[in-house]
Amino acid sequence: MAVFDTGPIDNRDVPRTTQLTIRLFNTGRLPALVGIEVYQINPPGGGFTSETFYVVNLVPLNPLGSPDSGFTLDNVFADLDVFGVRVLTSGLGANDIAITVLEKGSDGQIIKEHVLEGELSRIQELLFAYITNDNDTVTVIDTGTNTIVTTIPLPAGSGPQGIAITPDGLRAYVANNINSTVTVLDTATNTILTTFLLPAGSLPRAIAITPDGLRAYVTNANNTVTVIDTATNTILTTILLPAGSDPQGIAITPDGLRAYVANANNTITVLDTATNTILTTFLLPAGSLPRAIAITPDGLRAYVANANNTITVIDTATNTILTTISAGSGPRGIAITPDGSRAYVTNLIDIVTVINTATNTILTTIPFPTGSAPIEIAITPDGSRAYVTNLGNDTVTVLDTVINAVIGTLPAGNLPLGIAITPILLF
């Protein structure tokens, strides 16, 4: 991530700036995400400790030569004594963004032009990966330095499996399989906020949080999905699935309207999150044994990792199967890049398979050391790296998604399983 800033602009002289035009252009070959912040300094001279944001925008920029590679924010109010403009760039093309800020007077004439060339500062991304371990701990990794920050002890006998982080990055929810509880972690202090009980015999597995952060959905081995109110950390309702479903993974559509549950009985159950009822349940090919599911950022496709060495691609508009892809040996986890272009699949037989989602073909496979048994995977919000938990050797592998190669291995707790990464928060 890079930060560009005009610094405080003293606007008390004549001619006075009344409006701004901010122009962004991606000059490179990789996509980027750009945040625009316009701030007032009040009182003047108070420094950045007294800044007040009054314009915020989040803009995706496509690579050079493609549509939407540029963006202009025009007629931004600036009739203030002291103000400034800050631009934050992230993603694979973060360093290729050209930024121009134009100060304009009341007559529309340009008073001054700021070309933000080069990085005024570069900041650490401050992203963290949270890994659940079978020895009742959660390992926290700083993805900027690929170092272990801390290990959080959970109550004895928890048996943590799935983990999900709220969209604001403030809390992590851990599904504890053995004692049928959910533990809520404060990610600022890496301490336990609370642990609460699910119904006896739930045996929770996977967990997903709605895009608005208000609900958590937990799949349970007793053929139910528990819905949690994250504001109060109480159970809202329990959704009964068809007998014998044996729910495994769960994913929620980007609009938050539906949850897709992968069931080991070769079915996918679609939940309506507004009513917390079942919309439909449909069959996968016999013997699929689905384990995990991920949904593309546009919400149009769901990719299901099946233990029978296949990936099922689902059209979420019709809830029908588009195609089936052969993928490695023992697929278990799946994650999709933020731009939706690739799906990364962990295979227990020591590889990660990379799928081109435009063609639904295999781009490449990434070999792991023998005995790694990669199980779950999460991708950083800028799409540059993937983190993989390895059951076989108690490690976490770091992948560079540009070159699709292993760039690091870190120790984890005993039998690491679930993994989630905090989001990029530009504002």
Sequence-distant (≥ 6) Cβ neighbours of residue 308 within 8 angstroms: 287, 288, 289
pLDDT in tens, 308-331: 999 999 999 999 999 999 987 899
Measure Cα distances from 332 to 68, 311, 388 in Å. 36, 10, 11
Contact assessment for residue 253 and residue 302, using Cβ atoms and an 8 Å cutoff = no
Distance CA 271, CA 276 (A): 6
Region 31-60: mean pLDDT is 77
Backbone angles phi, psi at 400, to 5 degrees: -90, 115
Structural domains of the chain in order of their starting residue, each with its CATH number: 2-122 (2.60.290), 128-421 (2.130.10.10)
Contact assessment for residue 332 and residue 352, using Cβ atoms and an 8 Å cutoff = no
Q: Is the pLDDT reported for residue 368 higher than 60?
A: yes
Residue found by looking up tokens 């690491």 in the block: 416
| Residue 125: band (very low, low, confident or very high) from pLDDT cuts 50, 70, 90 | low
pLDDT in tens, 140-149: 999 988 999 9
Distance CA 415, CA 137 (A): 10
| Residue 394: band (very low, low, confident or very high) from pLDDT cuts 50, 70, 90 | very high
Which residue(s) pair with 320 in the sheet?
A: 315
Q: Which amino acid is at 295?
A: I
pLDDT in tens, 191-205: 999 999 999 999 999
| Residue 107: band (very low, low, confident or very high) from pLDDT cuts 50, 70, 90 | confident
| Residue 126: band (very low, low, confident or very high) from pLDDT cuts 50, 70, 90 | low
Q: Is the pLDDT reported for residue 424 higher than 70?
A: no
| Residue 5: band (very low, low, confident or very high) from pLDDT cuts 50, 70, 90 | confident
Q: Is the pLDDT reported for residue 49 higher than 90?
A: no
Q: How many CB atoms lie within 10 A of CB 390?
A: 25
